[in-house]
Amino acid sequence: MLKKAKAQPGRSEATAVRDLPQAVLDSSHQIWLAGLGAFVRAQREGMKMFENLVEQGTRIEQKTRQAASETAAAAQDAARTKAKEMQKMAGGTWDKLEKVFEDRVERALSKLGVYTQNDVQKLAARVDELSAAVNALLKQSGRAPKTVVGKARSAKTKAKARPAPAKTPRRGRA
């Protein structure tokens, strides 16, 4: 508006200066009217715009929640898989450790001359075989065995029967 007043041909500078306050008032009034128009339009379209923004926010929130739940589910699956792997590794490690321990105990006992349960069972089976052979020889010779050795012993007696560890000879004094 101010530019219009200055640009009009045939107007003198004095007239332009005198009309300047009116041009400013007219320009201010138009700005005021534009602001009122924007305000009314914002009121009319404001609720519609607000509803659109709420709808867009709801869609974005749903997508975000879905992505978060999928990520959490994937993380849980990965954690379960890793836990199972670790459990298998730990189980294998315990089995190996147990085997090593058993082997070392067995070696230590054999060095000390202590018989293992397996040794005792083999010895008991050998005694049973020898008893049967002796009884067979006695029957062939015509003599009756005085006591039945071998099968008459109970399983408890077999398990308890352990020979004393071998003694190492002492060295003489010099």
Q: Per residue in 49-65, pLDDT tens?
A: 778 888 888 999 999 88
Question: Domain end: 92, 112, 132, which one?
Answer: 112
Position 39 scores a pLDDT of 78
Q: Give the gyration radius of the chain's Cα atoms.
A: 54
pTM exceeds cut of 0.75: no
Residue 123 belongs to domain spanning: 115-162
Residue 125 sits in the same domain as residue 53: no
**13, part of any domain:** yes
Residue 92 sits in the same domain as residue 136: no
**84, part of any domain:** yes
Quote the Cα angle for 20-22-23, to 5°.
65
Buried b or exposed e, range 127-157, using 16+ CB within 10 angstroms: eeeebeeebeeeeeeeeeeeeeebeeeeeee
The dihedral through the CA atoms of 138, 139, 143, 145 has a sign that is positive
Position 125 scores a pLDDT of 95
Residue 107 sits in the same domain as residue 129: no
Residue 12 sits in the same domain as residue 96: yes
138: helix, strand or coil: helix
Q: Write out the two tokens for 152.
A: 């008459």
Residue 84 sits in the same domain as residue 150: no
CB 151 within 8 A of CB 128: yes
Instruction: Work out how many domains the chain is built from and give that number.
Output: 2
Residue 10 sits in the same domain as residue 91: yes
CB 37 within 8 A of CB 51: no
Position 122 scores a pLDDT of 92
Residue 25 sits in the same domain as residue 43: yes
Residue 139 sits in the same domain as residue 57: no
Q: For each of the chain's 174 residues, which pLDDT tens digit applies?
A: 455 555 555 556 666 567 777 888 888 888 888 888 887 877 777 778 778 888 888 999 999 889 888 888 888 888 888 888 888 877 777 788 888 888 888 888 778 887 778 888 999 999 999 999 999 998 888 876 666 555 545 545 554 555 555 555 555 444
Position 174 scores a pLDDT of 43
Residue 58 sits in the same domain as residue 89: yes
The single residue listed with the structure tokens 């924007």 is 38
**21, part of any domain:** yes
